[in-house]
């Protein structure tokens, strides 16, 4: 399992809000820190890898526990 430096809870929020909140949070983080995003929006499975590709950050992993998705993103780019 990936170790996260910070966790962002977006449970109950739907596309594009989890990606928008992730973008804001990652800008506040240090380079190479890992953000864990909690979401129950099925769309996160395709939205987060796409955002990582377009933003230059590293998509590490996506785990599903019941209806909750845990997504791990490493900050690899300074804004």
- Which residues are catalytic, by number? 15
C-alpha 34/C-alpha 3 separation (Å) is 7
State phi, psi for 59 to the nearest 5 degrees: -80, 120
Measured N-to-C along each axis, helices 17-27 and 44-55 cross at an angle, to the nearest 10 degrees, of 40
């Amino acid at each position: 399992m990936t170790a996260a430096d910070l966790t962002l809870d977006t449970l109950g929020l739907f596309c594009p809000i989890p990606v928008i909140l992730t973008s804001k949070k990652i800008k506040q983080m240090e380079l190479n820190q890992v953000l864990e995003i909690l979401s129950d929006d099925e769309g996160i499975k395709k939205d987060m890898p796409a955002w990582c590709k377009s933003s230059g950050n590293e998509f590490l992993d996506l785990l599903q526990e019941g209806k909750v998705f845990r997504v791990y993103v490493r900050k690899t780019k300074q804004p």
